[in-house]
Structure 1
Amino acid sequence: MQLFGVALVAVAALAWAVLLLDRGGFWRLREWLPEPAERRTWPGVAVLIPARNEGATIAATVESVLGQAYAGELHAIVVDDQSDDGTAAQARLGAERAGAAGRLAVIGGTTPPPGWTGKLWALEQGWGALDETGWRPDYLWLTDADITHVHDTLARLVTKADADRRDLVSLMVRLSADGPWAKLAIPAFIFFFRKLYPFAWANDPKARTAAAAGGCVLLRRRVLAAAGGFDAIHDALIDDCALARAIKRAGSGRIWLGMADRSHSLRPYTALGEVWHMVARTAYAQLRNNPLLLAGTVTGMLTLYVAPPLAALTWPWHANPAAGALGLAAWLASAVAFAPTLRHDGRSPALAPLLPVAAAAYTLMTLDSARRYHLGRGGLWKGRAQAANTRASQGRETGPSDYS
């Protein structure tokens, strides 16, 4: 039994050495947008904002989008997905505050057809409405209805796309974390996402990895059309990374994902239950709704995150110095990797040793996600259990997302 314990934490220590040294430097947070370029002309941009019962936040979102300090042609389309909380009126109010009422169109969304998720059907309707205008902007900017952007965000996105010839540029926006649990769980969410999809790999045209963050995505309109539009990924619960993969395949292979320093989500995460719902909604889809992948994930999470601190903290009782030392080394390695994400989120690096606690919670959330799926409640978002409508297509799910 002691030999098994030593082997287990040795595997964890070796895995952390590999993660720190040879996984695209995922933990370093080195991907940032440049400052806006100086140029005479700027390409046209159409903003698509899907919204379902976002009356509390969408006015601020629309105001920040249409209030951009952007010299090119800029219009926005809000697709009101059958809201009953005054979302459409609040969207128009936001445009008025920005002095841009004439540059906003609000269209009423319809019920998603069989096989479509709500967000992608809303985006498809916005795409169709744009086509009807006859305007052919160079870029589409997809943003959620609960996110605000500072005045130069679009100029910086376009600068990155044009300077580096990127077909897609996406930002992982700052999430709001106020409660004690959220202050640990939200940075851990970002950390796990970066570990799963190292940004350096996603940004490498030669690498197969493709990832995006659905809250802020700028993409070339012609490449989206070449990829088959939103219809090509219409059944993807985890739509952002599915979109990134489609764009990477259809275009030049040049996409870019980075961290946002000045774009914020307005959706509050305070209690553990709010984070739990966010993760449990799509975690099992990330595993292709496959019980074997679920078992492997649970085993891996317990080995990487839970076993090391247990071996280190119980050293006086198990009296196995090798297991204790290896466990401590693996635990410290995980804390070193987590600290930069905490700093970026404005949290103390002293929380880094608590990463195993967050990992254990996320493991339970993933198990609950599987439970919800098998009860027919997978992908539940604002009254729609979307996974049941898309079960045949979950093999293409590739990353976390949220529908605002």
Structure 2
Amino acid sequence: MKYQAKKKALILLADGTIFWGKAVGNLEGSSFGEVCFNTGMTGYQEIFTDPSYFGQLMVTTNAHIGNYGVKEGEEESDSVKIAGLICKNFSYTPSRDGATDSLENYLKNNDILAISDVDTRALVSYIREHGAMNAVISTEVDDIAALKEKLAQTPDMKGLELASKVSAKEPYFFGDENAPYKIAALDLGIKKNILRNLAKRGCYIKVFPYNSSFEDLKSFEPDGYFLSNGPGDPEPLESAIAVAREIIEKDLPLFGICLGHQIIALSQGVATFKMFNGHRGINHPVINHLTGKGEITSQNHGFAINREEVESNDDLEITHSHLNDNTVMGIRHKTKNCFSVQYHPEAGPGPNDATYLFDQFIENIKQSKQVIA
């Protein structure tokens, strides 16, 4: 048990507002990024390692973080991707039989600054009212003026290309090479559980770096194409947008998730926009317009696509909508073999309401192969 005195720390928001807390462990210094919050009660390890969170300071609304430690095999990438953690109560000693380490050690080994003892309810309420903004968490509490100066130089998420920071540097393979289907996946910040879901449905995946061309992906001779999730603003990803446009023009099976969904929309002339707060949690209600059924979904995005532009686009139709704010959660092309969703059907630890979307992708591939045959 660790009862040593905790070092004083703070959260300084871009508008000058300050919230106070204590440093977790013995890490010191400052970490900058866009502050956002996640409402999930579980799954903090998956959240922290999700490449889509790169460059963000994560506020967890659940009061207790770290209580079940971390477990090897539950991460969504090879390292922690958040810029920093802000929580209420931090548990230093995990109480879980399957834990392979404590969250404290995990964050320390990844050099991630975390602060606890924060009034997270007040902080989240403030973010909800004033919107997501840049912030800094720091133990350097004696020179707030210097922190403000550095914070002012932190680039805004709008217009920020981050896929290159988390994408694979070289192509790699995932799954059984003797599987019946081959998938070319464009890695914009892909989660491991997406690859697992494809592999267990008979897919052998070749994962390509974010700036790969259509010819690069085509060289694998895939049966289908996939555009992954990832961080940052989709608009600067001109190469990925061009790849999506060419895949669609050739009527090849294409599935996109999250950032991949936004890339597909941009390739068809539909604009994206930065949301006031974004959607981050594992309890977001979505309506499937094709079936009339509701789905509880896991979401993590700060950008969305323009509903009016989808509705006026003759080639696209909206397949899913968010029941809280009516943002577009899914689209499909009316005449081409392409669909995408804004949420995460591969969610770990859940919910699993939308895993059928992977089956739908496989069915689209089967139908495409029959047409070609």
Per the normalisation by structure 2, the TM-score is: 0.30
More helix by share: 1
TM-score, normalised by the number of residues in structure 1:
0.28
Larger radius of gyration: 1
Bigger strand fraction: 2
